Structure 1
């Protein structure tokens, strides 16, 4: 592996010397690190992959829709339209709450399973 590391380092140094990294997006700026502490540790890699692919998890898109619906309701003057927006908002809130409840259940089940495995192996 040392040969491959040497070759890789040489190629990187050559690219730096030729200025191939000078005009990359974000060059010279600090990295924007996200706080993923609210995401379960076992889901973080998946969230990062989805984000880099431009795909939002369902609960995040629901949160965005809920925020948009609330803003629309605040700006709406037509009572009929406002009523239909409230119905949509309630549907989104119900779906979001169901997703979050399922996540908590699966998380507690996973933790219980993990504890039993650790007990079994005497840790």
Structure 2
């Protein structure tokens, strides 16, 4: 048995005996495992890091902004305000399309093949 493994085991056992793990959130509840099968293996670590940090990739933030603008446009009754919102939506769409075009040129095949699944996951 590895010396480091033994040292780690001893420290964990001591911490359990001292009650250091008693106040952990979720104690006594089953672990929740995420199904990341829809994300390619080479993107899973970065996906998990971004998600845990609460950060959306740029294209996802643009899509989210566009959906929010669509909702605002749908319930807006002031024509002048509606025109302003449509202009903002068009700007976001242009930014999104430009970003996606750059991605196509860069040839990120893993992203392109899972693009729709990732979009649905963040909605």
Superposition TM-score, scaled by structure 1 size? 0.69
Deviations 1:42-77 (A, max 9, x none): 222122222333322112212221221122112211
Q: Which has the larger radius of gyration?
A: 1
Query: Which residue does 1:67 correspond to in 2?
Result: 67
* Contact 1:62–1:92 under 8 Å retained in 2: yes
Task: Structure 1 unaligned segments of length 5 or more: list them.
Answer: 110-123
1:30 to 1:81, Cα distance in 2 relative to 1, 3 A: farther
Structure 1 runs (4+) greater than 6 angstroms displaced:
none
- Count of residues in Structure 1 that have an aligned counterpart in Structure 2: 109
- 1:27 paired to 2:18: no
Classify 1:65/1:81 alpha carbon distance in 2 versus 1 (closer, same or farther; 3 Å): same
RMSD of equivalent CA atoms: 2.5
Residue matched to 2:108: 107
With a CA cutoff of 8 Å and minimum separation of 6, indicate the structure with the bigger relative contact order: 2
Q: Which runs of no fewer than 5 residues in structure 2 stay unpaired? A: 111-123
